[in-house]
Structure 1
Amino acid sequence: MKKTLPWLWLIFLCAFFLRVYNLDAVSLRGDEAFTVNFVQRTWDALWKGIRFIEPNPPGLYLALRAWVALAGASELVARFFSVWFGVLNSALIYRLAREMIPNPKIKNLAALIAALLIAFSPYQIWHSQDVRNYTLWPAVSMLALIFFWRVWRFEVGSWKLEVGNALYASRFTFYALYFLSAYLALMTFYYETFIVVAQNVFFAISFVRAGGWRDLKRAGRALARWSAAQIVLIAAYGAWILQTDRVTAYGELSAEQSVGLLDMLTRTVASFVLGDTVPDAYQHALAPIVTIALIACLIVWARQDHARAIFIALYVAVPLVGVYLTSLGRPLFSERYITGILPAYFLLIAFGLTTLWKWQIRWRAMAVALAAIFLIASAAYALANYYFNPAYAKAPDWRGVWQVIA
């Protein structure tokens, strides 16, 4: 850990620089401007708007309202709200990778690569400069996953706190931290529900695979604790759902409906890994190749660690299927609506590169170098378009328009 710390801080600094560079060079786009104005309503008007107008739960709006009240509502300051969570995502995926990968030979390197990938991700950088919830959601979602894995090791596997072997926490502490972070994630974006479902499916599969039926007393206590946590989570979340009609009555005009599952997979891979500030032809040509590479990484992971591979598969598949079913009758699919599963793709890439590097094969260095060159070149191309190509500007020059009008 001490050896990787300087590299980790360097990654965080790079992540911060890439997210503040040209932060206010472009005017707020429509959704951003609406959000900043929306959170400055009176409390009564804000709460009614969240319940009956906005398609998102209150997490973003309450947090952003506090930020605006504290720091101001200028374009630069408002976008800093997303910058902080964008940088935090690098730290959280590093921690999540260390929680998920038990192999001491690869966990540090894999965690560093995952942090590096999200730090330089064109998709994450774009949203880190956007006043919406697409950096906040992955942050609280990954935080919930970190505590989920600690609970899982308590109940199914063996657990030892990495930072100081003498430091232990009670089951109640980690259940409480899991509940709080999962609740925050659910209150940030409705589709987090599918990630929580994936956790429950994985928990059930883990008990079956671990032979929980052989020790019914222990298994019963563990399942009772987990079920109690889920019941409390459902009750707390349900209390909000009963107050709003946005879940059942909403359809997004800018979204799509009845998109095929395979298309959803390749399109999210294209957006999350390649970025959206590249030509469509570039995405269409490379997305299938990258998708196949990710599946290959999952297969390699499954050969080494069945449990984690099953989780990653569920982490991706359950939300995709959930969004697919949800969007059959209404336009409710957009790549950004599944941003919560973005860490899974970066974890797969990080694990694949690390495993390939550790293999004792002649061509490993060349293979890793080619993969690294592709990822670096792809990110550089997308970021160059984002920063410097007016064709990919996220909003028109509203300031110039206002000057003409004035």
Structure 2
Amino acid sequence: MSSRTEKVIVITLAAVSLFSAFGMRFAFWGDEAGTFEIISESWHGFWRWFVEGEPHPPLYFALLKIWAIIFGKSEIALRMPSVLFYPLVVYLTWLLSRKIGLSQTGRLFAVGIVALHPSLWIHFRMARYYSMTTFLFLYNTILLFEVMEKGKWRWVVYGICLALLFWTNFPAYIVVPLHFFIIILRDRKRVGMWVVCNALALISAALPLLFLIKTTISYGEDAMPSIISLLMSLLYGVYSFLIGEARYPWQVATAIGLIAAIFLAIRGMVMRPKDSLVLFVGPVIVSLSIISLVFQKLGFIYINARLSFLFPMVAIGMAFGTERLRKGFLMIIMVMIGVGYIWGISGVITGKDYHNAVYVMPWKEIVNETKLLGVEAGICRDWGAIHYIKQKMDGYLMRDYMYRDLPDGKIAFISRSGAFKMLGWNENVYKELETGRGKPVAKLEYIKENPIVLCLKKQFLKYDFPDYITTVYIFPEIEVNNVSRVSR
């Protein structure tokens, strides 16, 4: 295949990734609702979010706030920057594959995996920092190869881009040990300059990092995971990456694809042990362990979204296994993996992926029918509310999870940052909440200005939620005395 044909295929796959935009027509997921609230603040209130404990760096949110001032704050407008980063991620995956010397077959395989992966179709359409982080992560890695080859002023660009990455996503600190492995393997003479660039970039990102440490300490020691939970998170992350986080009847098909993908990964380690083990697999595993120990606020689903910037690396690692593989056998492998991907993408396009977790209409209907201050109808599994509920909640201050103006001037939200304190929640309550749809099992107390009681109501379950949702949580009914609006 000529290089021109290869470029046409890469550009086509990059364009195909834009079809992830089909998912923009669905309502915000829970974390996207958090993005909406952050950028809806005044600039003073915006920066206060990060001083008071928002566990993410501010760069993405600041850029999105400026974008929203120009283009508005609709679901489509806020998601558009993330979608536009996706084809750039696909193209950079191809460039990085060339830098490390992958064969043409391997390069196209890696690009195809990244362009068509159902998980990325979910994460990279969200009004979150995931696709921007992936773009910066890949660009920084390509820059590292450039500076090792040509040096000079490129070190300055590399250092600046590192700082931007650190100001975008805390787990992206994984880039430090990963790039250390690369430079030790490829060009040890430049280690000194690399250390200087990383030190300056880390110093520049010290402020948001200090705020994160402060927040983690305030959450308590329960934030630290056990070794078993770390291993489970890592294994689940690999599993979820390979099958696209599908939870549908076609799990058998995707399990077959998982076997095929594991085969490629193992074969890649045999074919290019130095590259796959030292350049990718080793650093990624070590970095995942370190980052999970330091910044554990990652549940099973979170670890996939927040660490989605590693997906192209995993795809390239799998692509090592395609080298010198018989064409017929390679086609069988690609079909095995592709079956699960097709089903996964169909779920993303039709809305039958469980990340479409927040439905706007039920809030409005419930508010109008019951004349409450506000409610949220949330559909979730391991993310969001259930993630926090499973922690030790006594004295735990929930971070903000939802805030949205409704047409009648009311407000829908889950807790305000620092405003709600969990009372009387224990392990029995968690179990009941997980298994007892809508039972009134818990109370929250508003401790800032006005007393507010929140509970779960069975009556809200009259709405027909899709069959593919296994658990429905309704948060909350809010009873207020002479309060028409709760302010921050």
Structure 1, residues 142-174: CA drift from partner, whole Å, max 9, x if none?
11111012223x3xxxxxxxxxxxxxxx52222
Note the 1:5-404 alignment, pairs <5 A: 5-16=7-18, 18-24=19-25, 26-101=26-101, 106=103, 108-152=104-148, 154=149, 171-206=151-186, 219=189, 222-242=190-210, 245-246=213-214, 248-249=216-217, 257-258=225-226, 259-260=228-229, 262-279=231-248, 282=251, 289=259, 292-303=262-273, 306-307=274-275, 309-326=277-294, 331-333=297-299, 334-353=303-322, 355-357=323-325, 364-388=326-350, 390=352, 392=354, 394-403=356-365
Q: How many Å separate the matches in 1 of 2:235 and 2:76?
A: 34
The answer to whether the Cα contact below 8 Å between 1:323 and 1:332 also exists between their aligned partners in 2 is no
Q: How many Å separate the matches in 2 of 1:137 and 1:83?
A: 13
* Other structure's SS at 2:153 match: helix
Distance 1:308 1:22, change over 3 A: closer
Distance 1:404 1:69, change over 3 A: same
* Other structure's SS at 1:191 match: helix
Q: How many Å separate the matches in 1 of 2:290 and 2:249?
A: 26
- C-alpha displacement at 1:46, in angstroms? 0.7
Distance 1:261 1:84, change over 3 A: same
Structure 1, residues 195-237: CA drift from partner, whole Å, max 9, x if none?
2122124423555xxxx6xxxxxx3xx3332232222222222
Structure 1 unaligned blocks of 5 or more: 155-169, 213-218, 358-363
Which of the numbers 2, 22, 25 marks the counterpart of 2:4? 2
Distance 1:331 1:148, change over 3 A: same
Instruction: Decide which structure has greater helix share.
Output: 1
The one-letter code matched in structure 1 to 2:281 is: A
Distance 1:120 1:205, change over 3 A: closer
TM superposition score normalised by structure 2: 0.66
Structure 1, residues 385-406: CA drift from partner, whole Å, max 9, x if none?
2333647351243225425645
Distance 1:2 1:380, change over 3 A: same
Structure 1, residues 348-401: CA drift from partner, whole Å, max 9, x if none?
222322x044xxxxxx23311111101211101112223336473512432254
Q: How many Å separate the matches in 1 of 2:162 and 2:353?
A: 38
Say which structure, 1 or 2, has more relative contact order (CA 8 Å, 6+ apart): 1
- C-alpha displacement at 1:297, in angstroms? 3.5
Matching residue of 2:402: none
Q: How many Å separate the matches in 2 of 1:43 and 1:229?
A: 31
The answer to whether the Cα contact below 8 Å between 1:186 and 1:237 also exists between their aligned partners in 2 is yes
Distance 1:396 1:90, change over 3 A: same
The answer to whether the Cα contact below 8 Å between 1:302 and 1:310 also exists between their aligned partners in 2 is no
Structure 2 unaligned blocks of 5 or more: 369-488
TM superposition score normalised by structure 1: 0.79
Calculate the aligned-residue CA RMSD, in Å: 3.1
Q: How many Å separate the matches in 1 of 2:182 and 2:193?
A: 16
Matching residue of 2:423: none
The total of aligned residue pairs comes to 361
Among the aligned pairs, what percent are the same residue?
18
The answer to whether the Cα contact below 8 Å between 1:267 and 1:287 also exists between their aligned partners in 2 is no
Rg bigger for which structure?
A: 2
The answer to whether the Cα contact below 8 Å between 1:251 and 1:332 also exists between their aligned partners in 2 is no
* Other structure's SS at 1:21 match: helix
* Other structure's SS at 1:171 match: coil
Instruction: Decide which structure has greater strand share.
Output: 2
